[in-house]
Amino acid sequence: MQVLSSVHAFQNQCLDLRCSGRVTALVPTMGYFHEGHLSLMRWARENADTVLVSLFVNPAQFGPAEDLDRYPRDLERDQDLARESGVDILFTPQADEVYSPNHDTWVDVPGLSTYLCGQSRPHFFRGVCTVVCKLLNMALPHTAVFGQKDWQQMVVITRMARDLNLPVQIVGRPIVREEDGLAMSSRNAYLSDQERRQAAHIYAGLQYIQDWVRDGETGTAKLKSRLEDYYARNIPSGRIDYVHFVHPWELTPVDRIDSQVLAAVAVHVGSARLIDNMLIQG
């Protein structure tokens, strides 16, 4: 496995791969790998000739009071895990390699960024779209692979790639969970033992929604109220950021579940902000 930190060297190598006819897949990450990341790498290994992984904690997607400085990092561990997962090139640039001192160009998908995480993190998707667009221009992959835990991010990036005619297929892969259902996340490392036990109820609550719908409750206002009550009882150290029911690909709010609807939540548990989602069948 090669480890490259130079944008110039990485882009030139990826251009050579594309021109030589090699099918390449990019897995963009912020590192501190867990099984969710590794599942994306293994999918890429099975579906591409060359697997590219970027490891970059993107400062542009963090707000002033967020966890950029303490975001978990362990480059040596991540290199070992990437190598074991069959990665061919690990790209580890520094911030000043990705953003020049007078950087002043941004990519935004304002409509899809309005809802869900965009309400409490208005800066977030501009930073995500900009860095992903830059990474796609550097790596020139045939496919780019994203986890569905960040469903809104996947939808926003898919729209960005379509609207900008980027020659890449965006692939979403299923959420990987712990045995008790908690969605794997690098930020799970922030949780105390007690908070970790409570955090498992985030997914358990989403599962109850499907049960309630099967029992005949399809109004999203009542479903939201039920879920918020469940979280209040079972995650006492938590604070709900949002509970939303939206169209899966337009992300617009829906009043009733009469077709497939995305239930998406964000909950602060201790110092960790955890997100999760589930497609609910009407």
Give pTM, 2 decimals: 0.96
Catalytic residue among 34, 37, 142, 201: 37
- In angstroms, what CA-CA distances link 176 with 106, 120, 180, 249? 31, 25, 11, 21
The whole-angstrom separation of Cα 88 and Cα 264 is 34
> Mind listing the pLDDT tens digit for each residue in 135-148?
999 999 999 999 99
Q: Pick from 158, 156, 185, 152: which is nearest to 171 by CA?
A: 158
Q: Which CATH number fits the domain that encloses residue 226?
A: 3.30.1300.10
The whole-angstrom separation of Cα 254 and Cα 244 is 9
| 263 is a domain residue | yes
Indicate whether 140 and 245 sit together in one domain: no
Average pLDDT over residues 260-265: 98
Indicate whether 252 and 138 sit together in one domain: no
Q: Which of 173, 204, 223 is the last residue in one of the domains? A: 173
Indicate whether 114 and 245 sit together in one domain: no
Indicate whether 58 and 148 sit together in one domain: yes
The whole-angstrom separation of Cα 90 and Cα 26 is 10
Q: Can you give the pLDDT at residue 65?
A: 83
Does residue 37 have an active-site annotation?
yes
Indicate whether 204 and 157 sit together in one domain: no
Domain range for 264 is 190-280
Indicate whether 63 and 167 sit together in one domain: yes
Indicate whether 168 and 203 sit together in one domain: no
| 182 is a domain residue | no
Tokens coding 210 = 């499907």
> Mind listing the pLDDT tens digit for each residue in 84-118?
999 999 999 999 999 999 999 999 999 999 999 99
Indicate whether 45 and 74 sit together in one domain: yes
Confidence of residue 265 (pLDDT cuts 50, 70, 90): very high
Indicate whether 107 and 47 sit together in one domain: yes
- Per DSSP (E only), the strands in the chain are 2-4, 24-29, 50-55, 89-91, 143-147, 169-173, 238-246, 261-269, 272-280
Position 32, amino acid: Y
How many domains, the chain?
2
Indicate whether 212 and 137 sit together in one domain: no
Indicate whether 150 and 61 sit together in one domain: yes
SS3 13: helix
Indicate whether 90 and 198 sit together in one domain: no
